[in-house]
Amino acid sequence: MRRAALPAIGFLGVARIAAAGPWTVRMESGAEADSNVRRTEDSPVAAAVGRLGARIDYRDAVLGGAYAIDVSSLARMVASERTEDESVMLNVGDLRWVHPIGESSLAAGVHLTVADSFGVLVPIGARTYRNLGGDALVMLGHGEDHHLMLGAGWRDFLYKQDSTFDWRGPVASARLDAMLWHAPDRTRSLELTAAAGFEARSYDSVARFNCAPDGSGNKCPMDATLRRRDRFQRGGLELTWTGSVVATGSYQITVVDSNSYGQSLIRQRFTAAATMEVVAALFVSATATLQIDQYPEGIPDLLHQELTSLEDENRSSLQILVTRALSTAWSLEARGAIWRDFGTASASFGRKLVYAGVLYQR
């Protein structure tokens, strides 16, 4: 996902914002070199890229409950006339409010989310979308170390480049956070996170079927008369060790059952990550991810490549991040990454990235 002739690093002026109490402000500015800004398998385009982003978090209480508001915006500008649609901006907003129920360990609340990305230089940018959603939440907490959150709601997703992938439907989720062990002074600990999710997606397009006479092959998809419907089922486990080194190992599985030929999917992701302070105020993080995709019905042409994912990280990858604190608020960071399709049959995706920038957080 990124690289090209290495651009000079310029700091776009960032205004210092005083933050206190419930406020957290984070801003970033930097430049990167991207070897495949279009994220395609064929004819990758390399270019220099500038990034500018900000995030504001606010925590407080109202009507007897605690609420959190998270708002962020990230602009990514690609310095290439051939890829004007890759210059995009993403805005995200989240609101969560939770109210305790009497004197029990139960709490109930709501979660609202909105995300919208759009082209900066053209009306519709590459992979731009809008996602709206809301959830009812129930939380069960046992002291500080064990929490279970259940959610049920609705999502409305619009893919701006191709309405074929627009969908809406109910969603459900569950997440358990448990402290398995910690030292008496809590300087060392082992934590477990388990999560599961479900989405029933109803698309604004029809399903497809395999028109091959013998039912074999993957080069003969045709439109059916039924609306396309998918069931997304997700599950995952994560272990985190905190000490002189923070280390994480996780496994995630996603199973997509679709009535549209070629769109069913079994995806497995194995991730290992570690962060440590190598010298005073200099931190190094390394993350390795192996993703294995299986398409039970085969892949019709390369249709899946257009929407393999809207996430940068949703491939097999190796990433290194180095952060140097300059003060309590300012820091420099450098990042290098490679992405591949090691675990996906008949795929040859490749991408490299080098990035450097400045961060401000209070």
Cβ atoms of 249 and 262 within 8 Å: the answer is no
pLDDT of residue 21: 63
| φ, ψ at 310 (rounded to 5°) | -90, -5
Query: In terms of Cα–Cα distance, which of 63, 87, 65 is closest to 74?
Result: 87
**pTM score:** 0.85
Q: How far is CA 75 from CA 82, 86, 88, 306, in A?
A: 18, 10, 6, 22
Q: Hey, where are the domains in the chain? A: 23-361
Between CA 119 and CA 290 the distance in angstroms is 31
Name residue, tokens 């993403």. Answer: 90
pLDDT of residue 9: 30
User: Which CATH class for the 23-361 domain?
Assistant: mainly beta
pLDDT of residue 196: 98
Beta strand ranges found along 183-329 (DSSP E): 189-210, 221-242, 245-258, 265-279, 282-294, 316-325
Cβ atoms of 100 and 70 within 8 Å: the answer is no
DSSP for 47-106, written as a single string: EEEEEEEEEEEEEEEETTEEEEEEEEEEEEEE--GGGGGG-EEEEEEEEEEEEE-TTSSE
Tell me whether residue 169 is exposed, middle or buried, using C-beta atoms within 10 angstroms of its C-beta: 0 to 12, 13 to 18, 19 or more. Answer: middle
> Six-digit token pair at 297?
């019905």
pLDDT of residue 343: 61
Rg (CA), the chain: 22
pLDDT of residue 299: 64
Between CA 55 and CA 42 the distance in angstroms is 35
Bridge partners of 353? 34, 337
* 127 residue type, one letter: R
* 316 residue type, one letter: S
Query: In terms of Cα–Cα distance, which of 9, 10, 6, 11 is closest to 35?
Result: 6
Cβ atoms of 159 and 307 within 8 Å: the answer is yes
Query: In terms of Cα–Cα distance, which of 189, 152, 187 is closest to 173?
Result: 152
Name residue, tokens 């949703």. Answer: 314
Query: In terms of Cα–Cα distance, which of 93, 140, 135 is closest to 114?
Result: 93
pLDDT of residue 8: 32
Between CA 222 and CA 209 the distance in angstroms is 5
**pLDDT digits (tens), the chain, 362 positions:** 333 333 333 333 333 333 446 999 999 999 999 999 988 887 889 999 999 999 999 999 999 999 999 999 999 999 988 899 999 999 999 999 999 998 888 999 999 999 999 999 998 998 899 999 999 999 998 777 899 999 999 999 999 988 888 999 999 999 999 999 999 998 999 999 999 999 999 999 999 887 765 555 556 667 778 999 999 999 999 999 999 999 999 999 999 999 988 888 899 999 999 999 999 899 999 999 999 988 887 765 544 444 444 555 568 899 999 999 999 999 999 999 999 887 665 667 889 999 999 999 99
- Cβ-based neighbour number of residue 107 at 10 Å: 18
pLDDT of residue 16: 36
> Six-digit token pair at 350?
């490749």
| φ, ψ at 82 (rounded to 5°) | -75, -15
Q: Assign 266 to helix, strand or coil.
A: strand
Between CA 68 and CA 57 the distance in angstroms is 7
Cβ atoms of 202 and 168 within 8 Å: the answer is yes
